[in-house]
Amino acid sequence: MSKKRFLSGIKPTGFPHIGNYAGMLLPMLQRAANTEYDVNIFIADYHSLNDANARKNLGGLSLELAATLLALGFDPKSCTFYRQSDVPETFELTSFLTNFTPKGLMNRAHAYKAAKAGGLSALDDEDMGINMGLYNYPILMSADILLFDADYVPVGRDQRQHIEIARDIAASVNAFYGEAVLKLPEGIISADTMEVPGIDGRKMSKSYGNQLPIFAPPAEVEKIVKRIKTDSKLPAEPKDEDNLLLKFHQAMATAEAHADFRKRFLPGGMGYGDAKKEVMAAHEARFGKARAEYERLMADAGYVNSILAEGAKKARDIAVPVLKRVRKAAGFST
């Protein structure tokens, strides 16, 4: 019996911070190492085209993301690891799926509704500034999923709708042709994904300037950690569970090291200065060697691109037969 297939994508949006690591990169690394499943992981560079800043440097951002995953211990031999733009079948299937997607379904897509809500005044066109890439975003995502006969697609709670849309579109195709042309995927919603606040307590975001980059050098880490917001409690006083230093340490330390830190920090007896030193040490312990490997990989772009090219070949070995199945059902020559 063949293995169930997991599929997961990640957008290249720039230098990752520890919030990205805890919430997205670490689960992806753990998933890739799970030999019970056929794991497919891709860099969603086409999805980043709607970001005007990313649009100027998609090649560089994709390379940085690939090097980041590799430096963190990602083994491309254990799964299918590829760049979305290297699989042209994705875009043919996207075009095909548009013909089975009601406009009303796209009108209800969260990204489109959010863009409209954050647009110009009511006196202006409510779709001002919204391009078709954003509007059709869920169809491209559906093609990413359906092209690989994915069984399971891990997503955050706010992305559940994307799986529902992919299933709706696939069901429409299957109903029209009277056969199981496309596999309906199941969404795996992770309820325990860790969310790490920024150093000011708000959501960690590059736009807020409150992030701790995973590959920041020690001197920069020290400056950032010293700015982490704390209260006025004395060292001997018990600390709160929602203390930012506790969350930062948990995002980077091993389970054993973090359990030890909690025992010494929460009941009282450790000042914030000493706690911040332990957060800095946890960052270096987790990312020090990976930072050096990342720098080595970024100096050898040819090697990183060769890994992505090899992954694209493996991906197309899966995608081409699925697209042939679609074309045959539609009556196109194959």
Cα–Cα distance for residue pair 185/328, rounded to 1 Å: 21
Q: Is the pLDDT of residue 119 over 70?
A: no
At 120, is the pLDDT very low, low, confident or very high (cuts 50, 70, 90)? very low
For tokens 């649009």, name the residue. 55
Q: Are 134 and 51 in contact (CB under 8 A)?
A: no
The whole-number average pLDDT for the span 204-219 is 92
Domain limits of the chain? 5-195+301-330, 218-296
Q: Are 15 and 211 in contact (CB under 8 A)?
A: no
Cα–Cα distance for residue pair 242/298, rounded to 1 Å: 37
Q: In what order do the strands lie in the sheet with 38-43?
A: 80-83, 38-43, 5-10, 152-155, 186-189
Amino acid 123: pLDDT? 46
At 41-97, the pLDDT tens digits run 999 999 888 877 777 778 899 999 999 999 999 999 988 999 999 999 999 999 999
Q: Is the pLDDT of residue 192 over 70?
A: no
Amino acid 56: pLDDT? 78
Candidates 2.40.110.10, 3.40.718.10, 1.10.240.10, 1.10.3720.10; correct CATH number of 218-296?
1.10.240.10
Amino acid 1: pLDDT? 54
At 193, is the pLDDT very low, low, confident or very high (cuts 50, 70, 90)? low
Q: Are strands 5-10 and 80-83 parallel, antiparallel or unpaired?
A: unpaired
Amino acid 58: pLDDT? 80
279-306 burial: b if 16+ Cβ within 10 Å, else e: bbbbbeebbeebbebbeebbeeeeebbe
At 262-301, the pLDDT tens digits run 999 999 999 999 999 999 999 999 999 999 999 999 999 9
Distances (CA, A) of 294 to 15, 98, 297, 303: 11, 39, 5, 12
Give bridge partners of residue 7 from the DSSP assignment.
40
At 15-49, the pLDDT tens digits run 899 998 998 888 888 888 888 889 999 999 998 88
Percentage of the chain beyond pLDDT 90 is 70
SS (H, E, C) 192-237: CCCCCECCCCCECCCCCCCCCECCCCHHHHHHHHHCCCCCCCCCCC
Amino acid 334: pLDDT? 60
Say whether pTM exceeds 0.85.
yes
Amino acid 195: pLDDT? 82
Question: 5-195+301-330 has which fold?
Answer: Rossmann fold (3.40.50)
The single-letter DSSP state of residue 184 is P
The whole-number average pLDDT for the span 220-239 is 95
